[in-house]
Amino acid sequence: MAALVGRLLLAVTLLGLPGCTVVPQGCPAALLEGTLFTDPNGNLLVKQDVNGELWSVNWPDGYSEQTVNGRVVVTDVFGGIKAGDGDRVGIGGGVEVETPNEKRWGACGNMDSLPR
């Protein structure tokens, strides 16, 4: 009996339960390049280099928008300033929403300052 239970546990472990799927989560390999600017509501948007489209950004866990010395900036999990209003950036990630009324980028991976 114990051998049968052991075999069943091994089968369930190797094959998974019916209807249950484990999907690995990763970071999309796209890059949004543009200039950060503050909208009238105090939110940072990215004005895309290629076509001038405006994108809001869903920052990864630990990153946030803050006002430091009167400038809206993005800070990392340690409180370090990554970039701010007026900086040209490249943000790794992918499209979360793209409709005529809303464009939202899901940031993950790196955010780098780019030359102007």
- Residue-wise pLDDT tens digits, 38-49: 999 999 999 999
Predicted confidence at residue 7, as pLDDT, reads 54
Q: What total number of domains does the chain contain?
A: 1
Beta-bridge mates of residue 96: none
Range of the domain at 53: 30-113
CATH assignment of the domain containing 50: 2.40.50
Sign, Cα dihedral of 68, 72, 74, 77:
positive
| pLDDT of 78 higher than 70 | yes
* Pairing, β 54-58 against β 103-113: parallel
Closest by CA to 36, choosing from 104, 83, 101, 76, is 83
Taking 80 as the threshold, does the pLDDT of residue 21 lie above it? no
pLDDT at 76: 92
The stretches of the chain forming alpha helices (DSSP H) are: 2-15
Whole-number Å distance between alpha carbons of 104 and 52: 14
Question: Is 14 among the domain residues?
Answer: no
